[in-house]
Amino acid sequence: MELHRIQNSFADAAERAYKAGYDGVELHGCHNYLISQFLNSRVNVRNDEYGENPALFALEIIREIRKRTPDSFIVGMRLGAFEPTLSDGIDHAKIFQAEGIDFLNISFGFMQLSDPFKPSDYPFTDLIYGAQEIRKQVLVPVFTVGEIISPEQADEILTATGIDIVDIGRGTLVNPNWANDARNGKDTGACIHCKICMWRINPEKCPGRIRYERNNK
């Protein structure tokens, strides 16, 4: 069955990472990727066991990785908060926690097939709201991400929400030493959120990086 071949490919990749000396892996369970296609009930219309239990595809991958790697090998999951609703995101988080996942890195984004939500007076993004609500429901470390551009903003989110870790994405494209610079009180630089991020095409033209390098000659 092709589905089992794909699950084995995930486990093969994790095993290779272990043998190469990595401490762990993060399975990508959101942003339209295959695991999230199973998890999102608006996409998964299968009428077999993988439709009846939308988490089964990922659970079997996790079990196979655990068979092939020692207990100390970290297995985390990037998980959608709204797949398709926050209530589903919380359910999925609990299911993966029960399976022994080591961390949950919360994001979301399934084209038009997710229902992002936050109360109107919530001070941060809907994504951070989703991660905060999931954090209240599980004991494993919860991370979040999304347009966090300064150490002060990161600190404010961590303090206010109880979320364990924030991921810095484009900030590290501007300055790969972002985290160390933040810890040492130095200028981290900042992504300026261009309409289209050109970094992957030509990092030399990244305006955030150009500004950072100019200010830190």
Please report, as ranges, the residues that interact with ligand SF4 according to CB under 6 A. Answer: 170, 173-174, 191-194, 197-199, 206-209
Give the chain's radius of gyration (CA, Å).
Answer: 19
Minimum CB distance to ligand SF4, residue 145 (Å): 14
State how far the Cα of 107 lies from the Cα of 80, in Å rounded to an integer: 5
Q: How many Å from the N-terminal Cα to the C-terminal Cα in the chain?
A: 57
Active site residue 33: yes
Minimum CB distance to ligand SF4, residue 53 (Å): 39
Minimum CB distance to ligand SF4, residue 209 (Å): 6
Minimum CB distance to ligand SF4, residue 128 (Å): 19
165 vs 192, which CB is nearer to ligand SF4? 192
96 vs 212, which CB is nearer to ligand SF4? 212
Order across the sheet with 165-166: list the strands.
24-29, 74-80, 103-107, 142-144, 165-166
24 vs 109, which CB is nearer to ligand SF4? 109
Structure tokens at 180: 């160390």
Give the DSSP H or E segment for 144: strand 142-144
Phi, psi of 45 (to 5 degrees): -115, 25
State how far the Cα of 36 lies from the Cα of 7, in Å rounded to an integer: 14
State how far the Cα of 101 lies from the Cα of 96, in Å rounded to an integer: 6
98 vs 194, which CB is nearer to ligand SF4? 194
Minimum CB distance to ligand SF4, residue 181 (Å): 16
Contacts of 101 (CB under 8 A, 6+ apart): 62, 75, 76, 77, 140
Q: Which of 18, 22, 33, 50 is catalytic?
A: 33
31 vs 66, which CB is nearer to ligand SF4? 31
Q: Which of 21, 12, 168 is nearest to 105 (CA)?
A: 168
* 3-class DSSP state of 71: coil
User: Catalytic residues, which ones?
Assistant: 33
